[in-house]
Chain A
Amino acid sequence: AQKVTQAQTEISVVEKEDVTLDCVYETRDTTYYLFWYKQPPSGELVFLIRRNSFDEQNEISGRYSWNFQKSTSSFNFTITASQVVDSAVYFCALSLWDSNYQLIWGAGTKLIIKP
């Protein structure tokens, strides 16, 4: 069975702290894609990153970085020097080769950045 687990329901940190959001996935497929989305209070989901199963290279984009480890089936997201504008719900999702374009979503992690 395919599944995405975001065990952290809510995280609260003070501005400028670093924070890591965990994502663990389950699949027996060898070809798959992982995504992170951000949902600010306005409600729209914003695509952040896509990673395919053959590319374990970590990625950094400004204050955001992603750590993909197939050995532990994890695709964690770290925000460095967090800012109040980072406050949102973050979703991790999994897409399979034969998924018929459907995404398997995690439950989301609500991130609160306090000033």
Chain B
Amino acid sequence: DGGITQSPKYLFRKEGQNVTLSCEQNLNHDAMYWYRQDPGQGLRLIYYSQIVNDFQKGDIAEGYSVSREKKESFPLTVTSAQKNPTAFYLCASSHPRAGGDQPQHFGDGTRLSIL
């Protein structure tokens, strides 16, 4: 079945450590996204990518980095510069047709906590 796989499901970060969250999709979608969700709140866009080797900052990109070397993969690194990384991270993908009418499909998410 086609879908989006995020790993790990739970992740713990020590002070000063960089951690990487994995996102893989087999939906043949060109566009991929990373969102952060804090308890009781909506989704905030961290980074998005419309095509391989290209990505754009979202609303809260500081302290995060991404790469898009393959169409299927869009890993997110939470760097030590992100002082409050505890949150639920969601990866999504979509067909980037002009007009923005394509729904985004989501993975199961990764819960990141500070040790």
**Chains A and B come from one and the same complex:** yes
Q: How far is the CB of A12 from chain B (nearest CB, A)?
A: 15
Q: Mark A76-113, 1 if CB is under 8 A from B, else 0.
A: 00000000000000010001110111110111101000
A95 contacts B100, C-beta separation under 8 Å: yes
Interface size class of B (residues with CB under 8 A): 20 to 34
Contacts of B100 in A (CB 8 A): 32-33, 95-97, 99-103
Known: A95-B101, A97-B100, A101-B100. A45 touches B42 (CB 8 A): no
Q: Is A50 on the interface with B (CB-CB < 8 A)?
A: yes
Tell me, in angstroms, the Cα distance from A110 to B39 when the chains sit together.
Answer: 12
Compute how far the CA of A11 lies from the CA of B94 in the bound complex, rounded to whole angstroms. 30
Interchain CB contact under 8 A, A44 and B108? yes
Interchain CB contact under 8 A, A101 and B103:
no
A-contact bits for B73-106, CB 8 A (1 contact / 0 none)? 0000000000000001010101010111111111
A30 to B31: give the CA distance in the assembly, Å. Answer: 24
With an 8 A cutoff between CB atoms, is B48 at the interface?
Answer: yes
Which of B31, B40, B99, B100 is most buried by chain A, counting CB atoms within 10 A of its CB? Answer: B100
Q: List the B side residues contacting A97 at CB < 8 Å.
A: 98-100
Interface residues of B in 47-80 (CB under 8 A from A): 48, 50, 56, 58
Q: Least Cβ distance of B87 to chain A in Å?
A: 12
Also in contact, A101 and B96, with CB within 8 A (given A50-B103, A91-B43, A107-B41): yes
Q: Is the CB of B42 within 8 A of A108?
A: yes
Give bound CA distance, A34 to B55, whole Å: 24
Does A62 touch B at the CB level, under 8 Å? Answer: no
Q: Which 9 pairs show the lowest CB-CB distances between chains A and B?
A: A95-B100, A45-B106, A43-B109, A47-B103, A107-B42, A105-B42, A44-B108, A99-B100, A105-B43
Given contacts A100-B50, A102-B58, A105-B43, 20 further A-B contacts (CB under 8 A): A32-B100, A33-B100, A43-B90, A44-B106, A44-B107, A44-B109, A45-B90, A45-B92, A45-B104, A45-B106, A46-B106, A47-B103, A50-B103, A91-B42, A99-B100, A100-B100, A101-B96, A105-B42, A107-B41, A110-B40
